[in-house]
Structure 1
Amino acid sequence: MNLREIDLNLLVVFQQLYKERRVSVVADNLGLTQPAVSNALGRLRKMMGDELFLRSARGMEPTPYASQLAEPIDFALTTIRDTLERQLEFDPAASERRFTIAMTDLGEIHFLPRLMRRLAELAPGVTISTVRNTAVNLSDELESGRVDIAIGLLPQLKAGFFQRNLFRQRYVCIFREGHALDKDALTLQDFEEAQHVVVVAGGTGHAIVDEVIAKRGIKRNVRLSVPHFVALGHILSNTDLIATVPERYVREGMAPFKLRYLPHPVPLPEFDVNLFWHAKFHKEPGSQWLRNVIADLSVAQGVGTAPAAQPGFRSDANISAINTPKVS
């Protein structure tokens, strides 16, 4: 017998007939008509090559072959039902799982200190590994599960992914204290005449800054380009260069370098920092838990939009599918 030809619904009818022995009762239990149950029995007889159930004064009596099949079919259906209905759990306090998160150095500055403090409270055995968005094929790594989640401005993640907004922020201009531009406001002329360091954050959406500036015909005297944000503090604090960076980076990572920032003179679009995961892992308990922990941290900082709840155990809120992936 070819398993591909077996309709599990027929086995459910078999199970019910063996238990109830009456077509009318089985029809009521399964929400079917009596002819539908009789038709299913006919298909079962053809598939099994046996009458299976015979009419008698006591109802539908099973044949010896049906009696032989009854126990393994009941076991198989019960196993399938229990597997589908079982609520998988993730116990953070007992887990020693290692999660891999894709993020930029900017994300590490903002998220990792808070996340590690929270994990020390909730999940002391859980460990975190980070990878750069540009160091891997992010879409493939998320789909395979080698990377659990990604955080950032990542427009390259298309269909098959979910995203959850963490916060929105704007771009600002940053420079050292005592800089000639260290004043109340920055003009467009100031911006064009200054010397710039540019962060070329490949694999993210931050390239929109360069695109907007170029489209507006604004000239920049770019003296230095670097591939990441982490060195900016050292560079800016010891030079007269200025940089265009996300505001949260300045507020949280630049205090040791005595830097100042002003609103950007170019009307740049604000951007969303989102949490991304593949649809295959949308209901995976460990992934759900970590996503909620990170979302709770954003809420605690006053930049998230999700409602308050027990930390780390809220069901996903404020999430959206990218190009509506199908989740089974």
Structure 2
Amino acid sequence: MRLQDVDLNLLVVFEHLLRLRTVSGTARELGLTQPAVSNALARLRRLFDDQLFVRSAKGMLPTPVAEDLAEPVAYALDALQSALNRKVEFDPLRSDRSFQLAMTDIGEVHFIPRLMSALRERAPGVSIATVRNTAIDLADAMSVGQVDLAVGHLPELPSEFYQRRLFRQRYVCMFRAGHALDRRTVRLQDFERADHVVVTAAGTGHARVDEILAKLGVRRNIRLRVPHFVALADIVATTDLVASVTEKFAERSAAYFGLKSIRHPVDLPDIQINLFWHGRYHRDPGNQWLRDLIFELFAEG
């Protein structure tokens, strides 16, 4: 016998007959007619090739086959009923759930310190793991729940992903205090003559900056290429190298390394930073809670 061959409604009738021992009582409790219950019993008998219930002075008595079925059927129906009635909730104060977020290292610099501070107060048992969105197949990882949320400029994610804008920011030119470019405005020719450090962030929205500059014919004297942003502020603070970075990264670098930044001499488009999640987890309470928290902490009008 295969499960797909069984009408689950028949098992509901079976469970009521087993408990009430009458066709009329089963019909009344299930809101059915007595012929409908009798028909269901006949189908059950054919299905299990057994009488299942026999009439007696004490009502419908179960056969040994019915008695053997009683416990597993009752357990299965109870488990199914519980699953259907279950209201999934997420209590951040009690949860020990671990969330995985995809972002660049520049995203970690901006989001993680403030997020972890908020979690310490609001969800002390919740933990966070970050993963580079370029190190995995991000769409697949999010579709199967390996990554809960992604943050950044990710136009390549397909349409089944929800997204919510956090903020927009522009690019600036960043350098150490006292640099030759450390003045109110910088001419394009002075920018081109300077020594540059470039972050090779392939697969992210930041890579578009290099593409745009190349397309516009802007020539930079690139002296150093690094694969990430982690050491960029330290490098710029201790050299004469110039970097093209987002405004928020430049502000944080100024606070911790005393760096300076000015409006970029090239008219680069603003970059939009979004929060992304897969449609499969749109109503997941934990996912909802975390993205609401991130939006509360970081969204700008």
TM-score range, shorter chain: 0.7 to 0.9
Which residue of 2 is the match for residue 225 of structure 1? 225
Shift of 1:83: 0.9
Q: Find the aligned partners of 1:139 and 1:93 in 2 and give their Cα distance.
A: 30
Greater alpha carbon shift after TM alignment, 154-163 vs 168-177:
154-163
3-state DSSP of counterpart to 1:164: strand
Shift of 1:172: 1.7
Q: Which amino acid aligns with 1:186?
A: V
1:295-306 equivalences in 2 (<5 Å): 295-299=295-299, 303=300
Shift of 1:133: 2.9
Deviations 1:13-69 (A, max 9, x none): 77789989579979978xxx9999999888666545578899xxxxxx978569766
Greater alpha carbon shift after TM alignment, 112-121 vs 180-189:
180-189
3-state DSSP of counterpart to 1:254: helix
Give unmatched runs, 5+ long, in structure 2.
none
3-state DSSP of counterpart to 2:110: helix
Which residue of 1 is the match for residue 152 of structure 2? 152
Q: Find the aligned partners of 1:17 and 1:271 in 2 and give their Cα distance.
A: 66
1:18-57 equivalences in 2 (<5 Å): 47-48=47-48
Shift of 1:86: 0.9
3-state DSSP of counterpart to 1:129: strand
Q: Find the aligned partners of 1:93 and 1:71 in 2 and give their Cα distance.
A: 38
3-state DSSP of counterpart to 1:222: strand
Shift of 1:106: 0.8
- Change in CA separation of 1:166 and 1:44 when aligned onto 2, cut-off 3 Å: farther
Which residue of 2 is the match for residue 210 of structure 1? 210
Q: Find the aligned partners of 1:291 and 1:47 in 2 and give their Cα distance.
A: 50
Which residue of 2 is the match for residue 111 of structure 1? 111
Q: Find the aligned partners of 1:140 and 1:278 in 2 and give their Cα distance.
A: 10
Shift of 1:2: 0.9
Q: Is the 8 A contact 2:236 2:242 kept in 1?
A: yes
Q: Which amino acid aligns with 2:182?
A: D
1:244 counterpart = 2:244: yes
Which residue of 1 is the match for residue 88 of structure 2? 88
Which residue of 2 is the match for residue 131 of structure 1? 131
Which residue of 1 is the match for residue 201 of structure 2? 201
Q: Find the aligned partners of 2:211 and 2:8 in 1 and give their Cα distance.
A: 56
Q: Find the aligned partners of 1:169 and 1:42 in 2 and give their Cα distance.
A: 71
- Change in CA separation of 1:105 and 1:52 when aligned onto 2, cut-off 3 Å: same
Shift of 1:195: 2.5
Q: Find the aligned partners of 1:117 and 1:77 in 2 and give their Cα distance.
A: 45
- Change in CA separation of 1:169 and 1:76 when aligned onto 2, cut-off 3 Å: same
Which residue of 1 is the match for residue 180 of structure 2? 180
Q: Find the aligned partners of 2:79 and 2:238 in 1 and give their Cα distance.
A: 67
Q: Find the aligned partners of 2:47 and 2:272 in 1 and give their Cα distance.
A: 57
Identity, in percent, stands at 54
Q: Is the 8 A contact 1:27 1:34 kept in 2?
A: no
Supply the RMSD in Å over aligned alpha carbons.
Answer: 3.8
Deviations 1:231-259 (A, max 9, x none): 22222223332221111111223322222
Q: Which amino acid aligns with 1:85?
A: N
Q: Which amino acid aligns with 1:189?
A: Q
Q: Find the aligned partners of 1:139 and 1:39 in 2 and give their Cα distance.
A: 50
Q: Find the aligned partners of 2:43 and 2:150 in 1 and give their Cα distance.
A: 50
Aligned length: 293
Shift of 1:123: 2.0
Q: Find the aligned partners of 2:38 and 2:174 in 1 and give their Cα distance.
A: 78
Q: Find the aligned partners of 2:72 and 2:132 in 1 and give their Cα distance.
A: 51
Q: Find the aligned partners of 2:154 and 2:35 in 1 and give their Cα distance.
A: 55
Q: Is the 8 A contact 2:23 2:38 kept in 1?
A: no
Shift of 1:221: 2.0
Shift of 1:110: 0.8
1:287 counterpart = 2:287: yes
- Change in CA separation of 1:197 and 1:46 when aligned onto 2, cut-off 3 Å: same
Which residue of 2 is the match for residue 100 of structure 1? 100
Give unmatched runs, 5+ long, in structure 1.
55-60, 306-328
Q: Which amino acid aligns with 1:270?
A: D
Give the TM-score, by structure 1 length: 0.71
- Change in CA separation of 1:277 and 1:49 when aligned onto 2, cut-off 3 Å: same
Q: Which amino acid aligns with 2:148?
A: D
Q: Is the 8 A contact 2:23 2:34 kept in 1?
A: no
